[in-house]
Chain A
Amino acid sequence: MSRDPEEFMNDLEKLFDETGVAIFKDIQFFIDSLVLRPPKAAGYQAATMATQMLQPIAKRAEFVWKDSKLATITEDYPSEINVITFKRKGGKNVVIGGEKYPPFYSFLGKNPNRPVVTADVFDVPIHTKERPSILRLSKPVKEHFLNPDVSTNPGLWAKKHVEEFGADMITLHFIGTDPTLPEKEGGNQSVRQALEHLEQVMDAVDVPIIIGGSGNHRKDVELFTGVADMIAGNRFMLSSVELDTYEKIVPVAKKYDQIVLSWTQLDVNNQKKLNSEILDMGLSKDLIVMDPTVGPLGYGIEYSFSVYERMRLSGLKGEETLAFPMSGGTTNAWGAREAFMADKLRPEWGPRAFRGPLWEILTAFILSIVGLDLAMMLHPGSVAGFKDIIEKLSAPKPSKPVDGLKWITMK
């Protein structure tokens, strides 16, 4: 007779509880191993044994340790990503690129440079009720720069990013130079004003600077040409050149030894085309960084993720037009409503103070796993949180082993 062990056990327990004794007759043992458990009482032990004995399955199984080895993974990545050095005369240099393997594949080898952060600074003050401005930042971001208000002086703003929040570089976005934006809100600024702002930033910090255009094609050419003399001797980056503008901007970069940011929109073929056009114009390959566009977490990061991953793998496998370090406007994360929406509008999302910075960190971090080298960031907590995980991931293999099963019994 074979019985459901649990039922059997229950019956036995009941019997034992009632009578204090259980007698077994005519029981056959079909088993070749036996597990004994500490008895609650003598009768319980007997019940347990009997239950164990009624398991036919153990009879067939063979429990022998089979020593086995996992084949070592060897992968051939014949090419390397170009090394880009941002240079600040009399100040700090920042190096990105040079990868030989996909990011954080430490089982293959170590890449020479880790992803870095460039923090956003703007040429217009942050919008407040009293001060209309084209620069509207969400509350969790702007509160870090309004008290005291550093946004009226890009130099002070940059200093705060570098000295207090640990940014490696500064991107000065000249959004106010767009002639189509209203002057009373900071738009339509002249190149002369732009030069003043740039000077403020250069005086305030000793890190390399990225010159961010407004997106107005005609004005961007004027801007990049206009600042060239002032930045000569440094190696900064002109951000950005597109298929529509590269012909006018690349010669400036070439003449003044500046890096260009080659920007396309989530299209690997367009990126290859633009990069090869830039190379064809004679710009050295150590002066090109590419930006295939960041869709933030929740709003298109899956496209960015795969475009970054495809481009990095292609670059490592020998595609010369994609063997460039990659930048990304991970600040875009603050355009996601999960990051900026006020608590009272979305109570079910939990506190914005927590979800906001996390949104920016995860946007930057998940892209760094597939090739992002330069994260353009905004929130100080996000900068710190991103740099922290990159450091932990890049650190050498620890010699001291850790018991990874302790979590089972954590309090």
Chain B
Amino acid sequence: MPKLSPLNVIPLLPGTNCGQCGEQTCMSFAVKLLDHLIELKECKPLFSEKKYAKKLKKLKELVTPPIISIKIGTGEKQISIGGEEVLYRHELTYYSPTAIFVDVNDEDLDDLIQRTEFVKNYDWIRLGDRINLQGIAVRSLSGNPDTFAQAVKKVLSITDLPIILCTLDPKIMEAGLKVTKNKNPLMYTATKENWKEMAKLALEYDVPITVYSTDLDELKSLCVSLENAGINKIVLDPGTIPGEGHIGETYSRHIILKKSAIEKGDKSIGYPTIGIPAAVWMDQDIKNLSLGERVTLSYEEAKLGTILISHATNLLIFHTAENWFMLAIGVVRQNVYADPRINPAVEPGLYEINNPTPESPLFLTTNYTMTYFVVKGDLEESRIPSWLLVIDTEGIGVECAVAGGDLNVDAIKEHIEKYKVNEKVKHHGIIIPGLAARLQGELEDSANKVVIVGPRDCGGIPFLLEKRWNLEKIEELWQEMQS
């Protein structure tokens, strides 16, 4: 399916350039609409005036993404998965970051409680983004509807995160659905064997349902059969199979589904996808594995998760519920879902951190977003009042900016002047990043500052200040420099 151009949108807008949406012209509204910078509903006349009803209907169809969004859960923790319009993120961006779920089973309640608590509490801020987990996948291991219902109830008593009910047995599924009434869980999963019973439950409880098959024709048949029965909240699982050869096939199936929906416009499989990296643990005697064996499997699981996140699989279920593992997975997702249209630079300038005084230390860094956030974060965390001079290196980090010449002595001097550093900071010391150490001599000569070379990583700043920041000594040195 060719990418939409504003010219496809323009004829469907009122064309009056009324400005009610906040844009000067309908053309600029069209451009922003396609870039998701404005919502369709902002075009007020289109909705309020009857004569536009036809246009509105067409426009809605036109801007419906080739992969529709599906909601799981309710309330504040509800998630929406899918909605992407491209297979390659550089063509636009990916929306709705991959939802990350962790599995629990209905036989080991202590384990269930522990894992649910882990998911619930895993929540932190990294470089301005929230890193958290989205829900719990409850597996029926017992094969008993009551046991399953009890386990699901237990999870619900701990958290209101979205839930996936995992069983192939419609009776067990129904037991789970009964206790998650009005919670909008995701059913996992319908197959060619059980689809009728599962479909009835999906209709009865009005919840989204997964379809599973490693045979993509069969998977599509499942979708079409469900659609025919009036079901349109579907999630696709083309199978996640670990091991030699299988991983390649798994990745291929995921790519084929996305390509069919996004590039070929096949609406009958235009649904979000689910991947199960947790499957690396199947066939394993999990409880009796050595630490080394467990870490090896977790690594395999992380790699499987990474390849699926890389091209926008919309929901993943993991088994490893440990900090070091989720750190990596959380960051992979953060990076892949970062908007490539946003310039990775912050405004240059002199930033105040923790209410500095004219005597507070002065630090220097570049305006690469990630560098800036890390330095700022460390300074804030250390509670040291300080000044941070951010140099415009066009969004390049320290090491590359020094090598490429963007971070140089003249640029630093210009910034000192432009941002009136000498009016706000009343001492003559400046701390430069360890990776910019080679600028020290020249900077001392030409900027008339006492230059202290800081650590290579800003995590070492508190240590540096403790050992080497001495205002009296700096001023002494500066006096010496003057003679």
Q: Provide the residues of chain A in CB contact with B145, threshold 8 Å.
A: 37
State in angstroms the CA–CA spacing of A141 and B248 once bound together. 30
Closest to A67 in B: B221
Contacts A66-B221, A297-B332, A410-B286 given: A348-B323 contact, CB under 8 Å? Answer: yes
Is A35 within 8 A of B197, CB to CB?
yes
In the complex, per-residue mask of B292-330: 1 if CB is within 8 Å of any chain A CB, else 0: 000100111011001100110000000000111101100
Q: Provide the residues of chain B in CB contact with A91, threshold 8 Å.
A: none
Measured between C-beta atoms, what is the minimum distance from B290 to chain A in Å? 14
Is A306 within 8 A of B325, CB to CB?
no
Does B183 lie at the interface of the complex (its beta carbon under 8 Å from any beta carbon of A)? no
Is A60 within 8 A of B244, CB to CB?
no
Is A60 within 8 A of B251, CB to CB?
no
Does B247 lie at the interface of the complex (its beta carbon under 8 Å from any beta carbon of A)? yes
State in angstroms the CA–CA spacing of A313 and B87 once bound together. 12
Is B328 within 8 A of A405, CB to CB?
no
Is A68 within 8 A of B268, CB to CB?
yes
Is B282 within 8 A of A60, CB to CB?
no
Q: Provide the residues of chain A in CB contact with B399, threshold 8 Å.
A: 335
Does B43 lie at the interface of the complex (its beta carbon under 8 Å from any beta carbon of A)? no
Within 163-189 of B, Cβ neighbours of A (below 8 Å) are at 166-168, 170-171, 174, 178, 181, 188-189
Does A369 lie at the interface of the complex (its beta carbon under 8 Å from any beta carbon of B)? yes
Q: Provide the residues of chain B in CB contact with A215, threshold 8 Å.
A: 403
Does B216 lie at the interface of the complex (its beta carbon under 8 Å from any beta carbon of A)? yes
- Residue among B221, B248, B323, B374 having the largest count of chain A Cβ atoms under 10 Å: B248
Is B139 within 8 A of A73, CB to CB?
no
Within 338-379 of B, Cβ neighbours of A (below 8 Å) are at 338, 340, 344, 368, 370, 374
Q: How many A-B residue pairs have CB under 8 A?
A: 252
Is A61 within 8 A of B310, CB to CB?
no
Does B273 lie at the interface of the complex (its beta carbon under 8 Å from any beta carbon of A)? no
Does A409 lie at the interface of the complex (its beta carbon under 8 Å from any beta carbon of B)? yes
Closest to A393 in B: B248
Q: Provide the residues of chain B in CB contact with A309, threshold 8 Å.
A: 88-90
Is A406 within 8 A of B251, CB to CB?
no
Is B259 within 8 A of A365, CB to CB?
no
Closest to B217 in A: A69
Measured between C-beta atoms, what is the minimum distance from B313 to chain A in Å? 12
CB-contact partner of B204 in A57, A71, A305, A341, under 8 A: A57
Is A68 within 8 A of B224, CB to CB?
yes
The dominant DSSP class at the A interface is loop
State in angstroms the CA–CA spacing of A66 and B266 once bound together. 16
Does A90 lie at the interface of the complex (its beta carbon under 8 Å from any beta carbon of B)? no
Does A29 lie at the interface of the complex (its beta carbon under 8 Å from any beta carbon of B)? no
Q: Provide the residues of chain B in CB contact with A397, threshold 8 Å.
A: 245, 248-249
State in angstroms the CA–CA spacing of A104 and B310 once bound together. 13
Is B212 within 8 A of A404, CB to CB?
yes
State in angstroms the CA–CA spacing of A259 and B269 once bound together. 46
Contacts A355-B328, A410-B281 given: A70-B256 contact, CB under 8 Å? Answer: yes
Does A396 lie at the interface of the complex (its beta carbon under 8 Å from any beta carbon of B)? yes
Is B204 within 8 A of A406, CB to CB?
no
Is B245 within 8 A of A385, CB to CB?
no
Closest to B264 in A: A71
State in angstroms the CA–CA spacing of A66 and B171 once bound together. 24
State in angstroms the CA–CA spacing of A252 and B228 once bound together. 68
Is B252 within 8 A of A297, CB to CB?
no
Closest to B223 in A: A68
Does A132 lie at the interface of the complex (its beta carbon under 8 Å from any beta carbon of B)? no
CB-contact partner of B248 in A61, A71, A106, A295, under 8 A: A106
Is B170 within 8 A of A298, CB to CB?
no
Does A401 lie at the interface of the complex (its beta carbon under 8 Å from any beta carbon of B)? yes
Is B327 within 8 A of A62, CB to CB?
no
Q: Provide the residues of chain B in CB contact with A395, threshold 8 Å.
A: 244-245, 248
Closest to A298 in B: B331
Measured between C-beta atoms, what is the minimum distance from B330 to chain A in Å? 10
The dominant DSSP class at the B interface is helix
Is A406 within 8 A of B283, CB to CB?
yes
Is B322 within 8 A of A350, CB to CB?
yes
Does A303 lie at the interface of the complex (its beta carbon under 8 Å from any beta carbon of B)? yes
Does B11 lie at the interface of the complex (its beta carbon under 8 Å from any beta carbon of A)? no
CB-contact partner of B374 in A61, A337, A365, under 8 A: A337
One of A116-124, A151-159, A218-226, A356-364 at the interface: A356-364
Closest to B374 in A: A337
Q: Provide the residues of chain B in CB contact with A354, threshold 8 Å.
A: 295, 298, 324-325
Does A6 lie at the interface of the complex (its beta carbon under 8 Å from any beta carbon of B)? yes
Is A402 within 8 A of B259, CB to CB?
no
Is A351 within 8 A of B331, CB to CB?
no
Is B141 within 8 A of A70, CB to CB?
no
Is B247 within 8 A of A392, CB to CB?
yes
Measured between C-beta atoms, what is the minimum distance from A243 to chain B in Å? 10
Closest to A295 in B: B397
Measured between C-beta atoms, what is the minimum distance from B437 to chain A in Å? 10
Is B256 within 8 A of A107, CB to CB?
yes
CB-contact partner of A358 in B141, B252, B324, B334, under 8 A: B324
Is A66 within 8 A of B228, CB to CB?
yes
Measured between C-beta atoms, what is the minimum distance from B43 to chain A in Å? 31
Contacts A350-B323, A404-B214 given: A392-B336 contact, CB under 8 Å? Answer: no
Within 102-116 of A, Cβ neighbours of B (below 8 Å) are at 104-107
Q: Provide the residues of chain A in CB contact with B167, threshold 8 Å.
A: 408
Within 292-344 of A, Cβ neighbours of B (below 8 Å) are at 293, 295, 297-303, 305-306, 309-310, 313, 335, 337-338, 340-341
Is B239 within 8 A of A104, CB to CB?
no
- Residue among B124, B139, B244 having the largest count of chain A Cβ atoms under 10 Å: B244
Contacts A362-B306, A395-B244 given: A302-B335 contact, CB under 8 Å? Answer: yes
State in angstroms the CA–CA spacing of A38 and B246 once bound together. 38
State in angstroms the CA–CA spacing of A309 and B88 once bound together. 8
CB-contact partner of B264 in A73, A370, A398, A404, under 8 A: A73
Q: Provide the residues of chain A in CB contact with B90, threshold 8 Å.
A: 306, 309-310
Does A136 lie at the interface of the complex (its beta carbon under 8 Å from any beta carbon of B)? yes
Within 365-388 of A, Cβ neighbours of B (below 8 Å) are at 365-366, 369-370, 385
Is A303 within 8 A of B344, CB to CB?
yes
Q: Provide the residues of chain B in CB contact with A70, threshold 8 Å.
A: 216-217, 219-220, 256, 260, 266, 269
Q: Provide the residues of chain B in CB contact with A345, threshold 8 Å.
A: 459
Closest to A401 in B: B214
Does A58 lie at the interface of the complex (its beta carbon under 8 Å from any beta carbon of B)? yes
State in angstroms the CA–CA spacing of A298 and B327 once bound together. 10
CB-contact partner of A68 in B199, B220, B243, under 8 A: B220
Q: Provide the residues of chain B in CB contact with A408, threshold 8 Å.
A: 139-141, 166-168, 188
Measured between C-beta atoms, what is the minimum distance from A407 to chain B in Å? 4
Q: Provide the residues of chain B in CB contact with A358, threshold 8 Å.
A: 299, 302, 324-325, 328
Contacts A70-B220, A106-B248, A354-B324 given: A306-B181 contact, CB under 8 Å? Answer: no
| Chain B interface residues (CB < 8 Å from chain A) | 88-90, 103, 105, 124, 126, 139-141, 143, 145, 166-168, 170-171, 174, 178, 181, 188-189, 191, 195-197, 199-200, 203-204, 212, 214, 216-217, 219-221, 223-225, 228-230, 239-241, 243-249, 251-252, 255-256, 259-260, 264, 266, 268-269, 276, 278-279, 281-287, 295, 298-300, 302-303, 306-307, 310-311, 322-325, 327-328, 331-332, 334-336, 338, 340, 344, 368, 370, 374, 396-397, 399-400, 403-404, 438, 456-457, 459
Q: What are 9 inter-chain pairs, A to B, with CB distance below 8 A? A: A215-B403, A298-B334, A300-B397, A306-B88, A338-B327, A389-B247, A393-B251, A398-B243, A407-B281
Give 9 A-B pairs besides A70-B266, A362-B306, A405-B212 with Cβ atoms closer than 8 angstroms. Answer: A106-B248, A106-B252, A302-B340, A358-B302, A389-B300, A389-B303, A404-B214, A408-B139, A408-B141
**CB-CB nearest 9 A-B residue pairs:** A350-B324, A350-B323, A404-B239, A306-B90, A395-B245, A355-B324, A398-B245, A66-B224, A407-B279
